[in-house]
Amino acid sequence: MEFEECIKFANENPVSWVATVENDQPRVRALGMWFADESGYYFQIRLDMDMYSQP
């Protein structure tokens, strides 16, 4: 699959899942992709959630 096809697929299927750990407990959350282009994949999260600060 070419990179352009990956971008097209990602833009057509914008929901992803991300796994994190909080206090030794796994967390899996849905993550909405804003868009993808030649420079990368861009995701959106709410700032009132701690997910962005979790390792």
Answer left, alpha or beta for residue 8, where phi above 0 means left and psi between -120 and 50 means alpha: alpha
40 versus 20: the higher-pLDDT residue is 40
pLDDT digits (tens, 9 = 90+) for 41-55: 998 877 777 766 665
Half-sphere exposure of 37 (CA within 13 A, CB side): 3
Measured between alpha carbons, how far is 25 from 30 in angstroms, rounded to an integer?
17
pTM of the model: 0.65
Confidence of residue 5 (pLDDT cuts 50, 70, 90): very high
Stretch 7-27: mean pLDDT, rounded?
90
Measured between alpha carbons, how far is 21 from 19 in angstroms, rounded to an integer?
7
- pLDDT at position 51 is 65
